[in-house]
Structure 1
Amino acid sequence: MEETNQFDGDAISTPQPTDKKQIHSTPNDPPWNIWMAVGVWVFSVLAIVIIPSIFLLPYLLTLRGHVADNAQLVEFIKSDPTAVFLQIIGIMPAHIFTILIAWLVITRMRTFSFRQTLGWRSGGMAWWHYIAILFVFFALAALVGNYFPEQENDLIRMLRSSRSAVFIVAFMATFTAPLVEEVVYRGVLYSAIQRTLGIPIAVIIVTLLFAVVHVPQYYPSFSTIFLLTLLSLILTLVRVRTNNLLPCVILHTIFNGFQSMLLIFEPYLPKTVFSTEPSATILQLLK
């Protein structure tokens, strides 16, 4: 609307200020560029590496003189129940800081709607789509696991350290990791890359980045790394197909929730239920 003011006989039209909340953005045309997206991704990786280390450092200082060399220290960090507990607890603030930084970028300091910019609708995904996707994925996972058994890796060793570690990992894997990871990868990264470089390149880059950051966690279990890459591809293609992030978050949450239930109930299930430890089937819990 415009107001008309009379001044010396002349009509002057004064435009009304635009409410910033009325400005719209879409998932495929985000208000951030590719460099800002890469910055959010780098921050998310550094947060997962640095913050748990900060939580662990005071405990390690109390052990000064009790650990002979670096190799012994590394093994201690991966197997000592208290050390593992502190590292896992440190992931929670890392997730919080990551989602906060992502929120600032996505909303451009509260200029845009967080949910509208990311795409918080079903995008045509029905409940049976989720079931079908998970059924096919787990069938492929069983087939791969039959021919290429799970290998010992750092995550399995850490989960063996205590039941407390299992419960905390299961909680974060279900309630924080899916949201944080999808916002960073299929939300911030994919949206900027597909606009600049196109959909095919965006799918390849996001799929591989998501998998690569988990390689140290699962090496040398190549079957798990392959399945994790496949899961990343599926989630990215869901983002492409629906033009919304919400279906990716839902699918990721269902997947992690199912795996977490297996992990929690492992001691009470018959050993014949699994060809490997349930903890070995956790393909993607935390970053």
Structure 2
Amino acid sequence: MTDLWQQSSGDFDNVFQQPVDVRDLFVNWHAPSSAYGVTIGRRAFPDNPALDGDSQQGAGFTIKFPTETTLDLTVMNRWIKYSTTNYDAWGITGWRNVNAVHLKAGDAFLAVSAQLPLGPHLRVSPFVNYQEAVLGVYGATIDLSLPVSTWPLTAHTNAPSEDTGSTRWTSELILAYYQNRFPSAFAPEYEDVWSGRIHSGIKGQDFSAGIGVFWIGHGSLDTGAGLFADFDPLQEDDLYPYNDQNNAHLFYIDGSITLGKIRLQPALGIGRNDAIGRDSVELDLFFSYPLSKRIDLAGYLVRVDFSGEEPPNYTKIGTSISYNF
């Protein structure tokens, strides 16, 4: 990456802390039956809501059972939080060791997840993340997806209602228990914390609309330490948590719509962090537009307002033009 223009001195270096990055470099092997496989190197390993990073370095083992159940086990020693050249000003942060959290942190990060389909519409995905002397996270995601019939179109006719096949009602529940494993010498005030998110809405080929709530329980804890992550739903979510201070909740609505070639994805969140006595309102708007078969224009606008003087209100705007080879 090369600095062509920046509004203030240091803006470019804050976003692109490294000029280049090798995000994917790995070898993998799969059994002839594809029932199991091994991957070693750098890549985005199987994700779960409490795992951070655009890419991780380590070794992963995958088992696929005849029942369509999948089990993934990954051990990682390095990771990179952001490795993009997109419009969102996240940039390239550079690779770091997982034990950089503090002097006593474990040298390896373990992530285990499974995909358990329970019929055609329900799926349960338990997960465990663990690092010695940092955190243990134990949780699950439950996804429900139901087809939506054409009842609005047939309610006043004698025609039978049929499944459109493309419009579905989807609901998601995420629950996670963050177990504090920091040595008391480093963080004597840290406690265990529960967190969760519920979202439900309708999704079609050219539109979606939903409503949800995210919460994190009372207790001081860095739930985003190192490779661990929160699963807050909006782009910024500054108060959820805020400097390890939890006891917060956020209500939000989101959606998407395609109008011709342009695609819009708006979201609005209203929340409060009771640990610091602050409210926030966040508006996100993302757009994408294909300028040609190979050139795409995309961007976003984020506006965040807080109830107090700290943190300050702000607006973020970003755009990008990408060429697809």
Q: Do both share a fold (TM > 0.5)?
A: no
Scaled to the shorter chain, the TM-score interval is under 0.3
> Which protein, 1 or 2, shows the higher relative CO under an 8 Å CA cutoff with sep ≥ 6?
1
Higher radius of gyration, 1 or 2: 1
Structure with the higher helix share, 1 or 2: 1
TM-score, with normalisation over the residues of structure 2? 0.21
Structure with the higher strand share, 1 or 2: 2
TM-score, with normalisation over the residues of structure 1? 0.22
